[in-house]
Structure 1
Amino acid sequence: MTEQPSLSLPARLWLAFLCFWRVLVSRPFAQAVWPLSASYDSGKWVSGAPSPTPLPSPAPPPKASAPVPPEREHASALALLSMLQREGRLVDFLQENVAAFSDAEVGAAARIVHEGCRKVVKQYLTLEPVLPETEGASVTVPQGFDANRIRLTGNVAGQPPHAGSLKHHGWVTKEVKFPSVSPALDPRVLAPAEVELA
């Protein structure tokens, strides 16, 4: 074995510290160092001593996966919008300029949209009010309330508890039952074009 370069005392102390902890926490490192401890005697390498076991080569770092395109990342939201279009023609309604229609025509269209969209929401989502009281009822907002669930409006001053009137009971989703989106489908297509053949 070739002579090793001379190390200063601080360098040797640092190396001893590092080796001490690596031997304690790494079994492969300890197994690799063990034969060396028997082959070095009184400042000289002993010939014929077993050669150290080579350390296993480190595993290559995992390859970064390709970023998911936005339409795949949000496929479930696009699928919901597609279902709202299929059952309630929601996209058609929102894309239409209703300013030219009478209130009666808009109301008739809204009834169809409402019925279909309500069907989809009831089928795939379980909703319930955030607060059970009826709108207009007096409610007390306790100290430590969840600001995601309750929004204070009006004259907001001081620390909770606050007393006020319930303007909207809010909604919270208790259960989601979306079907899985097939990777074979393009989630960006909310409704296919329909062509009637003669």
Structure 2
Amino acid sequence: MAPTKPSLPSRLALAFSSFFTILSRPDFAAAVARLEAGTEKPSPAPAPAEPKAQDNSAALQLLGLLQREARFIDFIAEDVAAYSDADIGAAARLVHEGCRRVLTEHFELAPVRPEAEGSRITLAAGFDAAAIRLTGNVVGEPPFAGSLGHRGWRVTASRLPRLTGSHDPSILAQAEVEL
């Protein structure tokens, strides 16, 4: 039986939790980089002795912050086909401002590579495959010479609020009832 494809909300939760796992576990990041580069085939994860619940509360917390400050989920969930480009642009500006506010308030970011995009760079043997993704005609062994298409981003500090024990991280935005 073919595995079912995860829904969009499941994929979003997986993307956010993977983001934090990649930041905190270099071995996991290296495996993801190998999968993305096509040098490693996905293999089924070994069955754990006991099923362990995945803690994706940090990912859900970030998604909740993006919703609260930028109405991110509302914007992405909306079918924008009926709106004009000007209307979409105006809405995107508000979402962008809110998302930027969340990033600057809760994270310090730095580029993975210091060079300007478009610069020619050489990657020596032993380069960090978790931090650098090779694209294009990737053949042979390092050193690799190429053009920097994107500098990449890394989190250098994170300031997510501490969750209380009564907080349900799956509630990304409370329903609002006006009285």
When normalised by structure 1's length, the TM-score is 0.62
Equivalent position to 2:79, from 94, 97, 103: 97
- Cα deviation for residue 149 of structure 1 reads 0.6
SS of residue paired to 1:104: helix
Equivalent position to 1:194, from 167, 176, 179: 176
Q: In the TM superposition, what are the counterparts of 1:59-78 in structure 2 within 5 Å?
A: 70=54, 73-78=55-60
Q: Distance in 2 between matches of 1:68 and 1:108?
A: 44
| Correspondence for 1:152 | 134
Equivalent position to 1:113, from 73, 80, 95: 95
SS of residue paired to 2:126: coil
Confirm or deny: 8 A CA contact 1:76 1:181 kept in the other structure.
no
Q: Distance in 1 between matches of 2:52 and 2:127?
A: 36
Q: In the TM superposition, what are the counterparts of 1:1-198 in structure 2 within 5 Å?
A: 70=54, 73-197=55-179
- Cα deviation for residue 127 of structure 1 reads 0.8
- Cα deviation for residue 154 of structure 1 reads 1.0
Instruction: Choose between structure 1 and 2 for higher RCO, CA contacts under 8 A separated by at least 6 residues.
Output: 2
- Cα deviation for residue 158 of structure 1 reads 1.8
- Cα deviation for residue 69 of structure 1 reads 5.0
Larger radius of gyration: 1
Q: Distance in 1 between matches of 2:136 and 2:71?
A: 37
- In structure 2, what residue type is equivalent to 1:113? V
Q: For residues 92-132 of structure 1, give each alpha carbon's deviation from its aligned partner in whole angstroms, at most 9, with x where no partner exists.
A: 01110111111111111110000001111111111111101
Identity %: 54
Structure 1: state its 5+ residue gaps. 1-65
Confirm or deny: 8 A CA contact 1:127 1:173 kept in the other structure.
yes
Q: 4+ runs of 1 displaced by more than 3 Å?
A: 66-70
Q: Distance in 2 between matches of 1:144 and 1:150?
A: 11
When normalised by structure 2's length, the TM-score is 0.69
- Cα deviation for residue 134 of structure 1 reads 1.0
- Cα deviation for residue 143 of structure 1 reads 1.0
SS of residue paired to 1:139: strand
